[in-house]
Amino acid sequence: MPAPYLRRIWLEPSRIANRAAYPFCLLFLGDEFELSFDRSITIIVGENGTGKSTLLGRNRRARGL
Amino acid sequence: MPAPYLRRIWLDPSRVPDPEAYPFCLPFLHDDFELSFDRPITIIVGENGSGKSTLLEGIAALAGYDDAGGGKGYRPVDHSQAAEVMGGELSEALRASWLPKITKGWFFRAETFFSVARYLDAVGSTSDFLSYSHGEGFLRFFEERCQRQGIFIFDEPESALSPSRQMEFLKLMHRMEQSTICQIVMATHSPMLMAYPNARLLRLSKYGLEPVIIEQTDHYKVMREFCADPAGFVEAVIEE
């Protein structure tokens, strides 16, 4: 199968313990958040602090470390 | 005394253990290498691999800073996992003239920022740098550290900064210059930072360091071409 392999991610609101806490308080993480990957390369741009790194999984707080 | 405090560095060939070994084999480090700092802000541009970081590490070590990043007295970085740093070896063969000798300040490297921030948070700094995003943490850190007298060394500070945060960084540089008590030595690939007025802009190549104007740099020429036609530019690059 050719890429992309990850096709879609979405938020499952029932799994969120605290909506007001980081990272779920990030503006883009509304209940209906979803992201479809329709090409093999996806590029995300955004201002510092918007949550790009958290989305990619690099942020240590988001990983609970 | 106003900045610059570090006035000149030069290589003392008699202190070079092995001219064939790194870092002394770097093409710009010939026997008569010297660098004069005639302005409070010195900006060094050069291709990857030209030795910019090693040169900055050497200057940082001369100032008494950890050559992996940090300030005097801070050893925040676990060197067993740090990228190889050669500035300490270089500094052994460098001589420096200061007016006066300053050891306050900071050596900032993007790749060790998180180690440094974790250390500062652990030792009870007033700011909790890690609770900010990457770029915001950088800027908070700069703002807190760069208000006092000192020599501040930045290795590619733009790496975590969006263009609008780089504009904030330009303002910080301006405040530092206006204070007259801050010397900045910076390596950058960012044309926006290179364009800082009144800075001494130097290009590092195998021939050594030479003054340039921003319009002569590859960084500027490439970005200008790119901005004129992003899609066409990238297509041409890919098909090369």
What DSSP element (H or E) covers B200? strand B200-205
pLDDT of B115 reads 67
Q: Is A48's CB within 8 Å of B130's CB? A: no
The full length of chain B comes to: 240
Q: Is A51's CB within 8 Å of B165's CB? A: no
Q: pLDDT-based confidence at B81, cuts 50/70/90? A: very low
B18 and B24 in contact (C-beta within 8 Å)?
Answer: yes
Average the pLDDT over B12-31 and give the result.
90
Task: Tell me if chain A has a CB within 8 Å of the CB of B214.
Answer: no
Of B98, B88, B89, the closest CA to residue B8 belongs to: B98
Q: Closest-CA residue in chain A for B133?
A: A49
For residue A61, the cross-strand partners are: none
Task: Tell me if chain A has a CB within 8 Å of the CB of B134.
Answer: yes
Task: Tell me if chain A has a CB within 8 Å of the CB of B206.
Answer: no
A21-30, B37-46, B94-103, B137-146: range with lowest mean pLDDT: B137-146
CA distance A14 to chain B (A): 26
Q: What are the average pLDDT values for consecutive 10-residue runs of chain A, which has 65 residues?
A: 94 90 87 93 90 76 46
pLDDT of A62 reads 45
Determine the 3-state secondary structure of B169 from DSSP: helix
Q: Closest-CA residue in chain A for B168?
A: A48
Average the pLDDT over B99-104 and give the result.
89
Is the per-residue pLDDT at B125 higher than 70? no
Q: How high is the mean pLDDT of chain B?
A: 87
CA distance A17 to chain B (A): 20
